Amino acid sequence: MLTFILSVIAGFATPYVEPALVKLLKLNLGDFPIHEGEYQTITFVLLLVAVAIAAIVSGLLASAFTVLLGGVLGLFGVRLFRVLRALVDGQSSDRDEG
């Protein structure tokens, strides 16, 4: 369960960690071609790898599914919540009209 929670935090933190990681990568990789859209993916993967390593070092069982599911929920959770809320609000307004 701790691995899942850490994965959710890592996914949520991805957009906030990305600018610092982009600066670091641009300084160290130099001429290595990375497109602008790939930096968020690299950040997300590195954060999830860090969660998996922390879980293994601490002796917790870390399944890949748990780490990925938590990361995806953390990364897209706010957007998914807004979409679900809009769907629920849209359905409730349809019922009110009838």
- pLDDT digit string, tens, across residues 19-28: 998 888 888 8
pLDDT digits (tens, 9 = 90+) for 58-86: 888 878 898 999 999 998 988 888 888 88
The count of structural domains within the chain is 1
Range of the domain at 74: 2-97
Q: In whole angstroms, give the CA distance from residue 62 to residue 77.
A: 21
Question: Considering the entire predicted model, what is its pTM?
Answer: 0.77
